[in-house]
Amino acid sequence: MTRRVLVTGGSSGIGAAICRRFAADGWTVAVAGRSPERTQTVADELGGLAVLGDAADANHDPVAAALDGLGGLDCVILNAGVIADADLPATTATDWQQLLEINVLAVHRHALAAHAALAATHGSLLLTSSDAGVWGESGIAGYSITKRMVLALMRCLAAEWGPDGIRVNALCPGDTAPGMVTTTHGRREPGSTDGWLPPPLGETVHAADIAGAAAFLAGDDAARITGVGLLIDAGMRASSTGWQTAPQVAR
Amino acid sequence: MSLLVVGTDGPVAQALGSAAPLSGVDEAVRAMQEQRPDAVAVVALPASAGPIGALAPAAFAELAAGTVTLAVMIAQQAALLAQPVRIVLICPADGVLPDHLDGARSVVASGLTMLTEVAADLPTLTINTIAVADDIPAAEVAALARHILSGVTPSLNGATIRLDGGRDAVLAAETRAEGD
């Protein structure tokens, strides 16, 4: 039987790469995004379902829409998120409210909506956190705080929903291209990795790397893995000074 | 020391000398601007809201607003005062080692531990979190908070201190024993 997955934030960057990887692995994919054009393009490319809506909208229920379209869900990947390129003094109340709403409250809301469907299939829930949630970055202070909260949410749900047969894990990407760092307006020139610190492995993390980790955590090989935040950062969080000894970064 | 106490009312706030701490974000931020304190205690010790998977989204949003949002906005205002300010955040011990039975508080408290980490390198701030178990006497929590806020141990900046009588250390030991 074909497995079914919902990916929020699926129309660009890491989310789109996850959609493409799961489709290539034979999953039926519901692509959720706020841009109608981008979301429909990815869904059409993959023969999947487009789910339109903004995670900031409390009335938006991508889980219900995916269940309507696919008839069930074996995996839900709550990947939609925003960043504020600001240290704490520069983080406005509006910045913080948007970060909290989309990165944490919407994730909680959509996870609760997915519980019954995932219990029915003994499915898997994946949350996108960040390496900045593991080891904070003062230049993206609010984002780091929300991504630490996502990790705690993941661990609590893993323990709480384990008896229902649901596995809950998190992806912790480092700077990834294409990804939030290269696609957020005002943060970098689109596609540019200029100024990135080279990780110990030398090569920048690619969105396909994150998608591969997601495919592993959603798959049968990870059947006994739950409550884990998996760093995919080419070693950046392995040492506080690892980047200083890295070879020339390959882009 | 000019101390401002904001956040959750209760024994810890009272032990810090505040019978009715400001709990609304707007009024607390206004107090920061008007009083310009050099020491701030953010008490984020709400009653347990139980497991996060059983908590209504609106209730979780309210919990987050009264704890992590309050702390973020207070720390942000402290940084904008352009004067030395020492901050201590006081939250449940679950912020360090999550407890799914107390999941809602675990999630918001985890945010406070990260706030401490990302604010610690701001030039005018020193900031710490005290992650306290529910059964620790309020006077002991207040004593540690006052010690930190006195500034005699500035190298503690950025640290989260678990004040739980060794509870989480014991849990870890039990887990290892069972795993063996």
Residue A242 lies in a domain: no
Residue A246 lies in a domain: no
The length of chain A in residues reads: 251
A191, A185 in Cβ contact below 8 A? no
Residue A248 lies in a domain: no
Residue A244 lies in a domain: no
Beta strands in chain B (DSSP E): 3-7, 39-43, 85-92, 125-132, 160-163
Any A CB within 8 A of B61 CB:
yes
d(CA A40, CA B173): 52
pLDDT confidence of residue B157: 97
Q: What is the count of structural domains for chain A?
A: 1
> Using one digit for the tens of pLDDT, what is the confidence trace for A110-158?
999 999 999 999 999 999 999 999 999 999 999 999 999 999 999 999 9
Exposed/middle/buried for residue B19 (C-beta within 10 Å: 0-12, 13-18, 19+): exposed
B130, B144 in Cβ contact below 8 A? yes
> Using one digit for the tens of pLDDT, what is the confidence trace for B75-111?
999 999 999 999 999 999 999 999 999 999 999 999 9
Question: How are beta strands B85-92 and A229-232 bridged, if at all?
Answer: unpaired
Residue A249 lies in a domain: no
* ipTM for this model: 0.95
- CATH number, domain with residue A79: 3.40.50.720
Mean pLDDT on A64-93: 97
Chain B nearest-CA residue for A151: B107
B5, B32 in Cβ contact below 8 A? no
> Using one digit for the tens of pLDDT, what is the confidence trace for A166-180?
999 999 999 888 777
Residue A238 lies in a domain: no
Contacting residues of B for A146, CB less than 8 Å apart: 111
Using alpha carbons, select from A121, A127, A89, A94 the residue that is nearest to residue A108. A127
A165 tagged catalytic: no
Chain B nearest-CA residue for A144: B114
> Using one digit for the tens of pLDDT, what is the confidence trace for B65-84?
999 999 999 999 999 999 99
The alpha-carbon gap from B20 to the nearest alpha carbon of chain A, in Å, equals: 24
Q: How confident is the model at residue A193 (pLDDT cuts 50, 70, 90)?
A: low
> Using one digit for the tens of pLDDT, what is the confidence trace for A45-61?
999 999 999 999 999 99
Angle at A210 between CA A205 and CA A211, to 5 degrees: 135
Q: Which of A29, A60, A107, A143 is catalytic?
A: A143
Residue A250 lies in a domain: no
d(CA A152, CA A97): 19
Domain of A20? 4-232
Residue A247 lies in a domain: no
B165: pLDDT strictly greater than 50: yes
